């Protein structure tokens, strides 16, 4: 890779991090939303 391996693999790592965040973030947000709904229904 003629000395550019750090940049190439760094780009792959950054892309993987973004991909994983796109998988995990909606699940975390859904869980928080469901907990908030359950809490709001429990207060009534």
Do 16 and 10 meet the contact criterion of CB atoms below 8 Å apart?
Answer: no
d(CA 33, CA 13): 30
pLDDT value of position 43: 67
Task: Note the pLDDT of residue 42.
Answer: 83
Q: What is the structure's pLDDT at 2?
A: 85
Pure H helices in the chain: 5-43
Give CA–CA dist 40/44, Å, rounded: 7
Per-residue pLDDT tens listing for the chain (44 residues):
789 999 999 999 999 999 999 999 999 999 999 999 999 998 66
Q: What is the pLDDT of residue 44?
A: 64
């Amino acid at each position: 890779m003629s000395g550019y391996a750090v940049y190439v693999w760094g780009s792959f790592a950054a892309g993987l991090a973004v991909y994983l965040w796109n998988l995990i973030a909606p699940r975390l947000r859904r869980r928080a939303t469901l907990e908030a709904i359950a809490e709001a229904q429990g207060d009534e």
